């Protein structure tokens, strides 16, 4: 029997995979057999991650691309280079993102814009650049990394909440336009995951105990908790799943 979750021969780009959640999603896809294009802005960090992956999966399966996901020209140029030099992309994970915590009344317009550009517009830019080829070939998997914050609002992260809510709807809009061309576009909405982005929250005793009490599973998520769902959404096993955003949050979004 064929393995529904086997990604051998597939090429996947995971944005923001130099560290954190993206790195673990890339590892999950590589474990399932895919070749990976690692990505980030910090060239040194990206090179270190690429070296680590090459030692495990072999250099022929590991590639890297360094560009800013908010820069349309850089996105187009780099996606073109990847497809020319390495091959057609079968899987795209739009994962790169940032948080900026400040009360809404104090939020500067440029910070609002930076958060929207990085978490939402980036998925439009990279998604569009990659989907062009996918639509022509009649196949492709796109996974947008949203957040439990698409459904739950908290003070001080208004721009992030707006961006991730927009990303969930962009997932639906991409489905409306590209599902008929054989693409599956879905979202993953993680709950609170322990990474560099959230280290200050883990260190904040009051916030930490709020998270532990608010999450039915009674713990922070780990980056590894997200790899299985990503492999499934990238694989043939999810071929009739389209436009959905799956919450991987230890139950946070379904209890009050």
In the numeric block, the tokens 């590209």 are attached to 178
Long-range contacts of residues 41-46, Cβ cutoff 8 Å, at least 24 apart: 41/66, 41/67, 41/68, 42/18, 45/18, 45/19, 46/18
216's enclosing H/E stretch is none
Residue count, binding to ligand NDP (CB under 6 A): 28
Q: Which one from 67, 160, 232, 247 is the annotated catalytic residue? A: 160
- Does residue number 175 form part of the binding site for ligand NDP (CB under 6 A)? no
- Does residue number 147 form part of the binding site for ligand NDP (CB under 6 A)? yes
Residue 131 token pair: 């989907």
Distance CA 56, CA 62 (A): 10
- Does residue number 195 form part of the binding site for ligand NDP (CB under 6 A)? yes
Binds ligand NDP by CB under 6 A, chosen from 14, 22, 123, 252: 22
- Does residue number 49 form part of the binding site for ligand NDP (CB under 6 A)? no
- Does residue number 79 form part of the binding site for ligand NDP (CB under 6 A)? no
Query: In sequence order, what DSSP letters do the residues of 9-53 get, joined into one string?
Result: T-EEEETT-SSHHHHHHHHHHHHTT-EEEEEES-HHHHHHHHHHH
Of 102 and 135, which CB lies nearer to ligand NDP in the complex structure?
A: 102
- Does residue number 177 form part of the binding site for ligand NDP (CB under 6 A)? no
Q: Tell me, yes or no, if 160 is annotated catalytic.
A: yes
Residues that bind ligand NDP (CB under 6 A): 16, 18-22, 40-42, 45, 68-70, 95-98, 118-119, 145, 147, 190, 192-193, 195-198
Catalytic residue IDs: 160
């Amino acid at each position: 029997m064929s393995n529904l979750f086997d990604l051998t021969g597939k090429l996947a780009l995971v944005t923001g995979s130099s560290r954190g959640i993206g790195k673990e999603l890339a590892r999950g896809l590589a474990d399932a057999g895919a070749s990976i294009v690692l990505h980030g802005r910090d060239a040194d960090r990206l090179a270190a991650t690429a070296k680590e992956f090459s030692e495990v999966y072999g250099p022929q399966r590991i590639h890297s691309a360094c560009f800013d996901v908010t820069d349309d020209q850089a996105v187009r140029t780099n996606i073109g280079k990847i497809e020319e030099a390495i091959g057609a992309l079968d899987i795209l994970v739009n994962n790169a993102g940032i948080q900026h915590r400040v009360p809404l009344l104090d939020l500067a317009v440029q910070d609002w814009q930076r958060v929207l550009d990085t978490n939402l517009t980036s998925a439009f830019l990279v998604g569009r650049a990659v989907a062009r080829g996918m639509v022509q070939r009649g196949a492709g998997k796109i996974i947008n990394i949203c957040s439990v914050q698409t459904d739950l609002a908290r003070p001080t992260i208004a721009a992030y909440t707006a961006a991730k809510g927009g990303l969930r709807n962009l997932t639906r809009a991409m489905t409306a336009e590209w599902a008929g061309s054989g693409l599956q576009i879905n979202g993953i909405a993680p709950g609170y995951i322990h990474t560099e982005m959230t280290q200050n929250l883990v260190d904040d005793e009051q916030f930490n105990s709020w998270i532990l009490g608010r999450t039915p599973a009674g713990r922070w998520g780990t980056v590894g908790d997200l790899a299985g769902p990503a492999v499934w959404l990238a694989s043939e096993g999810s071929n009739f799943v389209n436009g959905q955003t799956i919450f991987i949050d230890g139950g946070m979004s379904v209890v009050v």
